[in-house]
Structure 1
Amino acid sequence: MGTWKTRGLRGSTLEELINRSNEGYREKGLALIQKIPTPITPISIEKESRHITLAYFDQKSTVDYIGAVQGIPICFDAKECGANTFPLQNIHAHQVTFMEEFERQGGIAFIILSYTHKNELYYLPFAHLKEYWKRMEDGGRKSFTYDEVDKSWKIGSCRDILVHYLEMIQKDLTGRD
Structure 2
Amino acid sequence: MGTWNGHGLRGSTLEELINRTNEIYGERKLALIQKIPTPITPVQLDSGTGRITLAYFDQQSTVDYIGAVQGVPVCFDAKECAKDTFPLANVHEHQVEFMRAFEEQGGVAFLIISYTQKREMYYLPFRNLSWFWDRMKDGGRKSFTFEELDKTWKIESKGAIFVHYLEPLARDLESRDDTEEL
TM-score range, shorter chain: over 0.9
Helix, strand or coil at the partner of 1:161: coil
Task: For structure 1, list consecutive stretches of 5 or more residues without a partner in the other structure.
Answer: none
Q: What residue number does 1:162 align with?
A: 162
Q: What residue number does 1:60 align with?
A: 60
Is the 8 Å Cα contact of residues 6 and 53 (structure 1) preserved in structure 2? no
Q: How high is the TM-score relative to the length of structure 2?
A: 0.94
Q: How high is the TM-score relative to the length of structure 1?
A: 0.97
More strand as a share of residues: 1
Post-superposition Cα deviations, 1:72-121, rounded to whole Å, max 9, x if no partner, equal 00000000000000100010000000000000000000000000011000
Aligned-partner residue type, residue 11 of structure 2: G
Post-superposition Cα deviations, 1:124-147, rounded to whole Å, max 9, x if no partner, equal 000000000000000000000111
Helix, strand or coil at the partner of 2:136: helix
Query: What does 1:126-137 correspond to in 2, within 5 Å?
Result: 126-137=126-137
Q: What residue number does 1:7 align with?
A: 7
Root-mean-square deviation (Å): 1.0
Aligned-partner residue type, residue 55 of structure 2: A
Identical-pair percentage: 67
Distance in 2 of aligned mates of 1:176 and 1:7: 35
Task: For structure 2, list consecutive stretches of 5 or more residues without a partner in the other structure.
Answer: 178-182
Distance in 1 of aligned mates of 2:47 and 2:165: 40
Query: What does 1:11-160 correspond to in 2, within 5 Å?
Result: 11-160=11-160
Distance in 2 of aligned mates of 1:14 and 1:95: 19
Aligned-partner residue type, residue 32 of structure 1: L
Is the 8 Å Cα contact of residues 36 and 63 (structure 1) preserved in structure 2? yes
Is the 8 Å Cα contact of residues 132 and 143 (structure 1) preserved in structure 2? yes
Distance in 1 of aligned mates of 2:157 and 2:17: 10
